[in-house]
Copies of this chain bind each other. A is one copy, B any other.
Amino acid sequence: MAAGPDMIADPPRFEQVQPVRLYERIVEQIEAAVARGELRPGERLPSERELVVQFGTSRATVREALRVLESAGLVRSRPGDPRGPEVLQIGVDSLRRPLERLAGAARLSLAQLVVSRMMLDSTANQLAAGLRTEEQLAWIEQAVEVMRTALEEGQDAFSKADMTFHEVIMSIAGNPLIQLGHTAVRDTVLALISDTISDADDSRAVMQRSLTHHEEVLDAIRAGDGVRAARASRRSLYEYYAASVTADERAALEAMLLG
């Protein structure tokens, strides 16, 4: 095979090459082991000194890898624990910090977050309306009942009851991805607007309206009407947040109202 200039048909597409740090290789290996299920939550990693032997690096390098995994919420190491670092159960908290960073860097606007909540909430309601059993319907009814009583007890109790309501819905919808996304987005929204709305002196009226919206959702789910349940949650969120977003961002919220 003689190689000539005209033999080069495909221009070589080279990838940019970057130095791979040792600690990254360690992170990859441990991460892969967790992903493959070889390391289950509650199990222990070998001690740092043991890892030094297995990976053939220094202690500092192993520790850098462990700090990265720790900040990602995958492991936790405690001084003096002879059993070694613990593999943790992965949860929403692993998404919360990155999400908040993203929102804080102004790459995510409140409107974008609210649109996401409209999507997640309405989908969960639609699924719940279609999949609920009679027993699960009773759970929702009880959650609404708790909200009614909490209305008298003040804002904290009401917002807690509201959270419970949505957790019940999410569990019935049966989709962990939607559930996790919902709590992550909700937390981010709360961190973003903090108490802009909760400071309103007409909080009683706001809570009353919120309760009415939840009762509408309950009605729709009871009737098995997923479309109506989805619409109710979208409108509720729109009412609540529309005044807090800029005019041009509101177009996206309004586009979500259809259907």
Contacts and interface: CB of A to CB of B under 8 A. Distances in A.
A104 interface: yes
A79 interface: yes
A34 to B, nearest CB: 7
A68 to B, nearest CB: 4
Contact of A176 (B31, B106, B176, B251): B106
Give the interface size bracket for A toward B: 35 or more
A256 interface: yes
B67 A23 contact: yes
Contacts of A79: 19
A227 B234 CA distance: 14
A129 B181 CA distance: 24
A143 interface: no
Which of A99, A107, A127, A255 has most chain B Cβ within 10 Å? A255
Interface of A: 19, 23, 27, 31, 34-35, 60, 63-65, 67-68, 71-72, 74, 78-79, 90-92, 94-95, 97-99, 101-108, 112-113, 115-116, 119-120, 123, 126-127, 129-131, 174-178, 180-181, 185, 226-227, 230, 251-252, 254-256, 258-259
23 contacts: A34-B105, A60-B60, A64-B64, A64-B67, A67-B67, A68-B68, A71-B72, A90-B105, A92-B102, A94-B102, A98-B98, A102-B176, A106-B176, A106-B177, A108-B176, A112-B177, A113-B177, A115-B178, A119-B120, A130-B254, A131-B252, A175-B252, A181-B181
